[in-house]
Structure formats: C-alpha cells, structure tokens
Amino acid sequence: MKKKHTKLVDCGSTVFVYDYESKRDHNKFKFEVNTDGQITNLKRLFIKNFINEHLNLNLSFTLHLEMSDLPNLQVILDEFTASLKKYFDLSAVKYLAVLELPIEDESSHPKINIVTDIDYFQGTMSLMSFYKDLSEEDILTKLQEQVNLLSSKEVFVDYDDTSMMMDTFVEILTTTLKSPLCTIKTRSVFKYNLKNPKIRRNEKAEDHIKKRGLLSFPYQESAEIYDKRGGFINVNVYSKNINNSDYPSSIFEDQEDILMFNN
C-alpha cells in the first residue's frame, strides 16, 4: 500500500519540498544519483553557500591547465587558494570548483573554474584606493595581473552575481560530464569549507515547514514532475532570493530537463 512521504531539502534562502506517494520512503530520487545527482548537488551547494536574499558579487577564478595536471587538481587548488588567502589577508577561502573538459576538441586545454566567498569590492578595495582614476574594467585587469603572479598557471579573474554564476557552473559541469575525456574516475567537483543542505523527512519535514515559516517566503513555485524512483512528485520551492526575478519559476520551464531537479 502506498503512503504519503515528504522530503525537504533546506538550502538556506531556498527550500525544496518533495511530496510523493510510494510503498517505501526513498532515500534518494533518481535525479539525486549518478550524473543527474552531480548536477543536482552542485546546484544545492551553490544555493546553500553562495546565494541568498542579497545581491552577492563574488570573485571567480579560472585556471588554465594541462591534461597532465588532472591527477593533481586538489594540490593545485590547495596551493592556489593558499596564495589567495595570503594575498587578500584572509583566514580562509571558501570555494566551489568545477573541472572544465573539452567535449569535442581533445587538443583543447582543460580548466578549473572556482567561485569563492571573496566579495568583489573587498577584493579590489586596495587597488581602487591606489588607482583612483582607473575604470572598473582596468581595476579587474590589475587584479588579474597580480593574481597571475601567485600561480604557475594562467589565471583569468572575473566577478558576477552568484546566481548568474550558478547557471554558468552548471553548464560547465554538464559539458564536462559529456566529454569523452571524462571517465568514471574523473573528479569534476571540488569544495572547501562549504555547508551541506539539511535534509528532513516526513514529520520532521512538516515541523520544519512551520518552524522556518516557509509559507511566508516571498517567492513560491509548484510543479509536478516524474521520477523513475519516486514516481509523480509534487515539488514546492520556497525562496527568498530577491535578485532572481525568474527564479524559481524558471526551473519548471522545461519538463523534460526538470532543471533544478533532474537536469
């Protein structure tokens, strides 16, 4: 006999609630495992750690690599972020990094794309004070020149609203997972000092909905999706993200992709 189940995934400023009927309570849905799961987990980590109800302009870094660097990505990241920590005089640098592999041209170089918790204005404050007459673009160029002195790899520096960054990083990971160079042993996502979303089920999920006051969140969206494990699932998204005018409604635009949930 089927019973009603509820799974809640709390990503901070956005909360996902999944209601479904099944003979058993599924630990993970189909879109939470394998390739689909990597996309889903990346989105949840991004929202939990870098997206909230405020506008966040964070610095991002792209390191250009050689294929021979792939087995040593963690070491490269550790050394690079340690240099960033010293340069920006920080106690720690929180980051989420995604490997970028070519999907067609195997002669192309891989890259590692890194979003950090370093605020753009925090990161460029000293340069703005020193180079008062430079434009914003020139300030970023100066920062890129200095960051390149910290690394043996070529580094591209940028910044953006983190909600826009998430779309870019998801696209990068999707491409990497389709690359012929990506194998079952390839590690494509790296993180440091990030918080994981909190998951609650059934009665605990219902209690959490009341305690967090989800019904008072300014943005709410609902849809029904189909999952190979959970069957038909009613998905309710509660969000405080005021800087995303088309979010979370945009996650339901393509039923086949199920963007947020099943990509």
Extract the tokens encoding 239.
């969000």
Helix (H) or strand (E) segment spanning residue 189: strand 189-192
- The whole-angstrom distance between residue 247's C-alpha and the CA centroid of its chain comes to 15
204 or 244: which leads in pLDDT: 204
Looking at residue 151, its pLDDT comes to 94
Task: Give the CA angle between residues 21, 39, 230 to the nearest 5°.
Answer: 10
Least trusted range by pLDDT, from 92-96, 161-165, 258-262: 258-262
Q: Token pair 């996309």 is at which residue? A: 39
Q: CATH second-level architecture of 57-192?
A: 2-Layer Sandwich (3.30)
1-21 tens-digit pLDDT = 788 999 999 999 999 999 999
Using an 8 Å Cβ cutoff, are 58 and 120 in contact?
A: yes
State the average pLDDT for the chain. Answer: 88
Q: Looking at this protein, which amino acid is placed at residue 156?
A: F
Looking at residue 105, its pLDDT comes to 63
Instruction: Please determine, for residue 115, whether its predicted confidence score (pLDDT) is greater than 80.
Output: yes
149-195 tens-digit pLDDT = 999 999 999 999 998 999 999 999 999 999 998 988 899 999 999 99
Least trusted range by pLDDT, from 25-29, 70-74, 75-79: 25-29
Looking at residue 243, its pLDDT comes to 53
Instruction: Please determine, for residue 82, whether its predicted confidence score (pLDDT) is greater than 80.
Output: yes
222-256 tens-digit pLDDT = 999 999 898 999 999 999 875 544 343 334 433 33
Give the burial string for 29-56 (b: 16+ CB within 10 Å, else e).
bbbbeeebbbbbbbbbbbbbbbbbbeeb
pTM attached to this predicted model: 0.87
d(Cα 97, Cα 77) in Å, to the nearest integer? 9
The top-scoring range by mean pLDDT among 26-30, 147-151, 212-216, 218-222 is 147-151
Using an 8 Å Cβ cutoff, are 9 and 40 in contact?
A: no
* Residue 3 backbone phi and psi in degrees, to 5: -125, 155
Bond from prior residue into 248 cis (ω within 30 degrees of 0) = yes
Instruction: Please determine, for residue 37, whether its predicted confidence score (pLDDT) is greater than 70.
Output: yes
d(Cα 156, Cα 141) in Å, to the nearest integer? 9
Domain ranges of the chain: 3-34+198-262, 57-192
Using an 8 Å Cβ cutoff, are 220 and 238 in contact?
A: yes
SS3 content of the chain, % helix, strand, coil (to 5): 40, 30, 35
d(Cα 97, Cα 209) in Å, to the nearest integer? 31
Percent residues over pLDDT 70 in the chain: 90
Extract the tokens encoding 9.
């995934």
Using an 8 Å Cβ cutoff, are 8 and 208 in contact?
A: yes
Percent residues over pLDDT 90 in the chain: 65
Using an 8 Å Cβ cutoff, are 19 and 228 in contact?
A: no
| Residues found in the chain | 263
Looking at residue 245, its pLDDT comes to 40
Q: SS3 for 27?
A: coil
Looking at residue 244, its pLDDT comes to 47
Using an 8 Å Cβ cutoff, are 50 and 166 in contact?
A: yes
Instruction: Please determine, for residue 92, whether its predicted confidence score (pLDDT) is greater than 90.
Output: yes
Instruction: Please determine, for residue 143, whether its predicted confidence score (pLDDT) is greater than 70.
Output: yes
Looking at residue 242, its pLDDT comes to 57
Looking at residue 122, its pLDDT comes to 87
251 or 128: which leads in pLDDT: 128
Looking at residue 107, its pLDDT comes to 63
